[in-house]
Amino acid sequence: MQTLPTSDVPALAALQQRALVVGVVALLAGVAGAFLNVTQFFLSWLIGFLFCLSLALGSLALLMLQHLSGGQWGLVARRVFEAASRTLPFVALLFVPILFVLPRLFLWAQPEAVQADHVLQLKEPYLNVRFFVVRAIIYFVFWLALVWILNKWSAEQDRGVGVTTIDSIRFRKVSAPGLLFLVLTVTFASTDWIMSLDPHWFSTIFGLLTMAGWGLTSLAFAIAVLALVAPDPAGSFLNPRHFHDLGKLLLAFVMLWAYLSFSQFLIIWSGNLPEEIPWYIQRIRGAWGVVAILLVLGHFALPFLLLLSRNLKRHSGLLAKVAVFVLLMRLVDLIWLVAPTFSHSVPGEAAGHNAGFAIHWMNFAVPIGLVAVWLFLFARQLRARPIFPVNDPYFQQAFAHEAH
């Protein structure tokens, strides 16, 4: 089959240029805001880092899932997943500034807070700065190793090396244990970087909920990108059946996220334990309760009802609009998870004692800036390789009857 270039796809070139402009403007606004409230800036930076990380790691998870399961849905989206995963070095750099402001973001990183809190003293063997940094290094080394191996072998396929079905089994041999350990590391990472913002709160299902949310983020993003490429001759392999399959998978992820979210809420609420329920009370009262209702409607109910339509799922433009809306709700969900912890009025005060509402404008400006820069790098990576893995033997078999 003929290799299909993406470097000359006008839509991707325009996306890359616009993303850079938006990223620069939004980050400049964020830097200006940092002079007024530096803690808020780094809180917003954390939100932006987590969203970029969800795009990169969610794509890595879906890439390995595709290698294990096969199917045309994954073959047409594989290049999107690979390009997104190759942005992980940039995401790792975004994590570095957070290390220098840990006491501003994490209560357990404040020595005076640990001395005054018996719970923090009990958790100190795990929640301490040195071990926190060591764990982060382990996470990123493992994730980067997976990205390097899978993308290296994929590049070899593009050059015609290892294109037999037997040679393709090596992707599965890495993806099977890789996906297992990815779930484990994401569980610990979500505990370190999100759950420990309120060190008194815990949830045993939070890791799975995070993984489901990140998978949903990456799948919605892949759908939007493929819909952007589809009208171009380079996207000639794409047809309504592929978007129908991706739409069904998007519906499944929406339902999975909703199921895990409700399960976590139901278990904690029925347990009625004082160390668990303040986290939810702060997020369902007052104006934050409005955001919670918005998530119920916008993150689950509306996408669920829309994705039930077969015609919508087969229409790339309509499906892409739903996917972009889901991405927006994913950002709102991330803000809802992180920002209420800092709604208290007294610096260093434990979360859960104030139902204040504090969605700062930087909670949108800084994440949008970071995601826009990430999108610029993603488009650059996607344009560097063919849009489809046409040298993959499974691709040749699946599309043999559709080849032009």
* Residue type (1 letter), 117: D
d(CA 236, CA 152): 26
Domain boundaries, given as residue ranges, for the chain: 37-399
Q: Taking the CA atoms of the chain, what radius of gyration do you get in angstroms? A: 21
φ/ψ region of 352 (left if φ > 0, alpha if ψ in -120 to 50, else beta) reads: left
Report the alpha-carbon distance of residue 1 to residue 4 in Å, rounded.
Answer: 9
Q: Give the C-alpha separation, 265 to 272, whole Å.
A: 11
> How high is the pLDDT of residue 403?
47
Helix, strand or coil for residue 350? coil
> How would residue 387 be classed by pLDDT, with cut points 50, 70 and 90?
confident
* Cα dihedral value 363, 365, 370, 376, nearest 10: 150
From CA 35, how far away is CA 286, in angstroms rounded? 29
The torsion angle over the Cα atoms of residues 348, 275, 217 and 399, rounded to 10 degrees, is 150
For the ranges 126-135, 160-169, 222-231, which has the lowest average pLDDT? 160-169
Look at the pTM and tell me if it is higher than 0.85.
yes
pLDDT-wise least confident of 151-160, 186-195, 356-365, 393-402: 393-402
Tell me if 386 sits within 8 A of 143, measured CB to CB. Answer: no
**Average pLDDT value over all residues in the chain:** 90
Mean pLDDT on 158-182: 84
Residue 345 has what pLDDT? Answer: 39
Structure tokens at 311: 């015609």
Going by pLDDT thresholds of 50, 70 and 90, the confidence category of residue 4 is low
pLDDT at 355 over 80: no
Using alpha carbons, select from 104, 127, 129 the residue that is nearest to residue 117.
127
With pLDDT > 90 as the criterion, what percentage of the chain qualifies?
A: 74
With bands split at pLDDT 50, 70 and 90, how would you rate the model's confidence at 163? low
CA distance 397 to 61: 24
Interatomic CA distance for residues 94 and 55, integer angstroms = 14
Task: Please say if the pLDDT value at position 356 is more than 50.
Answer: no
Residue 274's pLDDT is what? 83
Q: Is 235 exposed, middle or buried (0-12, 13-18, 19+ CB in 10 A)?
A: buried
H-run or E-run covering 20: helix 10-34
CB atoms within 10 A of CB 388: 24
Q: Is the pLDDT of residue 352 over 50?
A: no
**pLDDT higher than threshold 60 for residue 360:** yes
Burial class of residue 75 in the structure, from the number of CB atoms within 10 Å of its CB (0-12 exposed, 13-18 middle, 19+ buried): buried
The pLDDT score that the predictor gives to residue 1 is 47
- Identify whether the C-beta of residue 365 lies closer than 8 Å to the C-beta of residue 44: yes
Which residues, in sequence order, are CB contacts of 152 under 8 Å at separation 6+?
none
- Of 14, 1, 112, 26, nearest in space to 373 by CA: 26
- The pLDDT tens digits for 244-302 are 999 999 999 999 999 999 999 999 998 888 888 999 999 998 889 999 999 999 999 99
23-55 confidence digits (pLDDT tens): 999 999 999 999 999 999 999 999 999 999 999
Q: Which helix (H) or strand (E) holds 302?
A: helix 302-307
Please report the pLDDT score of residue 31 as a whole number. Answer: 93
Interior CA angle at 198 toward 27 and 87, to 5°? 40
DSSP letter for each residue of 46-80: HHHHHHHHHHHHHHHHHHHHHHHH--HHHHHHHHH
Q: Is residue 202 packed enough to be buried (19+ CB in 10 Å), middle (13-18) or exposed (0-12)?
A: middle
pLDDT-based confidence at 165, cuts 50/70/90?
low
Share of the chain above pLDDT 70, in %: 90
Tell me what pLDDT residue 316 has.
Answer: 94
Q: CB–CB of 20/372 below 8 Å?
A: yes
Residue 375: pLDDT band (50, 70, 90) is very high
